[in-house]
Amino acid sequence: MNHSRRARAHPTATETSTERRARNLYDLVMPSRAPAYITTPIYYVNDRPHIGSAYTTTLCDVWARAMRLDGRDVFFLTGTDEHGGKVEKSAKDRGITPQALADENSAEFRKLLGPFCLSNDDFIRTTEPRHESQVKLFVERLLKSGDIYLGEFIGWYDEGQEEYITETRAKELEYKSPISGRPLVRATEKNYYFRLSAFQSRLEEFFKANPGFVRPEGRFNEVLGRLRDGLQDVPVTRTNFTWGIPMPGASEHVIYVWIDALFNYATALGLGEPQGALAQERAKYWPPAYHVIGKEILWFHAVIWPAMLMALDLPMPKCVYAHSFWIRNGQKMSKSLGNFVDLETIDGFFAKYGVDAWRWYMTTQGPIGTQDADFSDKHFHEIYTAHLVNTFANCASRTSSMIEKYFGGVMPAAETASMPISAAAGAPTWSAFTEATAAKVARHYEAFELAEASDAALSIVRAVDILINETAPFKLAKDPANLPRVAEILAACAEGVRVAAVLLTPIMPGKCAEVLTAYGSALDGDRASSGLAAAARWGGLTAGTKIAKCAPFMRVDAPVA
């Protein structure tokens, strides 16, 4: 993602083609202002949390906060995936029960939520009775409908991924795992199968009618390409380990971890028991607006899960958003290379730059598109300094200091709505510019174009910066006769900072609250629930409001190369 390093044109209120696309996607994804549901993958408990899991959850959090700020009723789900042969084996190696291992590592994931400012509404664990009982009910329904049947299967199996691979794809992969590189094994199993092959044409039709179902577009094309190879039925049970949900009526089988895990999105809302108390409260959130995942688990989410939902007659999610990977110095992160950006490393960034800076970097520089993104200390520092210290903090601090110096820390009275944002010919007025920008930001957030949302919001800060540089209020103020003009300039700057801080709140909740509080405009009560456009409307900061000096981000030393 290098959009934020691109040279920027002077901000205007006209719509670009990217914005038009965002508006179309917005129409596609959110036809109404219905309750909104967003999910992360549920993370394996045999791994510790690291930048990857923190990244996906942070993106979902930004979206959830943005939608809440826009007055939407949001449900944001994350959790842990706790069954399967790998967990059973790791637990055995450590001489503890799989449940003890799951408890321990699931807690590690939950511990992240506070420090990363993640505002999930629930945290689901696949070993919870509420999940297990509903998975059984779903599977019983699928057995009854004939979409799950008992059969025998011989195929290529990726042991590390616990996944079967089709003959065509196995050949393409030279019979090696695309993830671990280890040889695929020939496996035979008497198993229960999901009749995925029966959904080929329904899926094709669905994809044709819903071109925004998988995003980004490049990932959708990959799915469509693989779909052309034809679909095979997929095993939904295993007999080679016991750590899983027993198959109803055949307890020598346990439900395959992937099938068990996918159901989490539905069980968290109680959909397995439509008459139950949980469903009464939460069924309104279905279908999800976004299942946000990493690119490696796209097939399960884009093909197997939709087919299961079709078999269960449940409405389709609006979008499966598959981001790419964080890599480290051009290389894949792996345990063997020891180059993971792990929690200890992240703690170092928190200590030096703070969590809001971390969230800013994740949101604006991450692998949200089809390209992997390289995580580097130097780049992090550059972005921190350029965007947060030199742009956002600089404007908030210069403006508040000048208001203190020239107006005793009180917002001066001035008519700014119809003031042009700059001396450039055709420059929009502050109220028109910020209104158009707020609408653009809201659309980008909703369409999960989070880097674009951040960039549009920051364009207001850049406009404030241009105004200060063009008019030099600190020079004008030397002559008392200019004070009405200085009042006008600083009132516009202060209101611009306030509006930008409102729009950036989903990404940097802590620092934006700090700025808004200093500017006497904390987003509480009515201000927070009136919708993004209303909260960002020009004129929210009224004359007489006390403005305290603030410097939300401080310059820090560059990392040692």
Residues of the shown chain interacting with ligand MSP in the complex, contacts defined by CB under 6 A: 41-44, 47, 52-53, 55-56, 81, 261-262, 264, 293-294, 296-297, 325-326, 333
CB of 49 to ligand MSP, least distance (A): 9
CB nearer to ligand MSP: give 264 or 459.
Answer: 264
Nearest to 163 by CA among 172, 150, 153: 153
CB nearer to ligand MSP: give 261 or 303.
Answer: 261
CB of 161 to ligand MSP, least distance (A): 9
CB nearer to ligand MSP: give 72 or 215.
Answer: 215
CB nearer to ligand MSP: give 55 or 553.
Answer: 55
**Residues 178/166, Cβ–Cβ less than 8 Å:** no
CB of 326 to ligand MSP, least distance (A): 4
**Distance (Å, whole) CA 512 – CA 494:** 14
**Distance (Å, whole) CA 213 – CA 446:** 15
Kindly give, in sequence order, each residue whose CB lies less than 8 Å from that of residue 53, ignoring residues fewer than 6 positions away.
Answer: 40, 43, 109, 112
**Distance (Å, whole) CA 257 – CA 263:** 10
**Distance (Å, whole) CA 63 – CA 26:** 13
**Residues 119/75, Cβ–Cβ less than 8 Å:** no
Pairing of strands 250-255, 246-247: antiparallel
CB of 176 to ligand MSP, least distance (A): 20
CB of 325 to ligand MSP, least distance (A): 4
CB nearer to ligand MSP: give 292 or 403.
Answer: 292
**Residues 243/257, Cβ–Cβ less than 8 Å:** no
Find the Cα–Cα–Cα–Cα dihedral 421, 422, 427, 429, rounded to 10°: 20
**Distance (Å, whole) CA 399 – CA 406:** 11
Angle between the 430-446 and 17-29 helix axes, to the nearest 10 degrees?
50
CB nearer to ligand MSP: give 44 or 358.
Answer: 44
Residue nearest to ligand MSP (CB): 52
CB nearer to ligand MSP: give 161 or 394.
Answer: 161
- 3-state secondary structure string across 479-497: CHHHHHHHHHHHHHHHHHH
Q: How far is CA 486 from the centre of its chain?
A: 41
549: tokens are: 């000096």
Pairing of strands 326-328, 122-125: unpaired
**Distance (Å, whole) CA 548 – CA 519:** 6
CB of 81 to ligand MSP, least distance (A): 3
CB nearer to ligand MSP: give 333 or 395.
Answer: 333
CB nearer to ligand MSP: give 261 or 464.
Answer: 261
CB nearer to ligand MSP: give 299 or 474.
Answer: 299
470: tokens are: 């063009």
CB nearer to ligand MSP: give 47 or 273.
Answer: 47
CB of 146 to ligand MSP, least distance (A): 24
CB of 365 to ligand MSP, least distance (A): 12
CB of 271 to ligand MSP, least distance (A): 15
CB of 55 to ligand MSP, least distance (A): 5
**Distance (Å, whole) CA 4 – CA 366:** 11
CB of 41 to ligand MSP, least distance (A): 4
CB nearer to ligand MSP: give 74 or 293.
Answer: 293
CB of 335 to ligand MSP, least distance (A): 12
119: tokens are: 């505002």
How many angstroms separate the Cα of 188 from the Cα of each of 239, 279, 397, 476? 11, 39, 67, 83
Kindly give, in sequence order, each residue whose CB lies less than 8 Å from that of residue 2, ignoring residues fewer than 6 positions away.
Answer: none
How many angstroms separate the Cα of 380 from the Cα of each of 175, 222, 230, 391, 495? 39, 31, 44, 15, 29
Q: Which amino acid is at 541?
A: L
Nearest to 318 by CA among 265, 271, 276, 281: 265
**Residues 283/292, Cβ–Cβ less than 8 Å:** no
CB nearer to ligand MSP: give 226 or 549.
Answer: 226
Query: DSSP character for 9?
Result: P
CB of 298 to ligand MSP, least distance (A): 9
**Residues 406/549, Cβ–Cβ less than 8 Å:** no
CB nearer to ligand MSP: give 56 or 106.
Answer: 56
CB of 449 to ligand MSP, least distance (A): 18
**Residues 162/258, Cβ–Cβ less than 8 Å:** yes
**Residues 43/109, Cβ–Cβ less than 8 Å:** yes
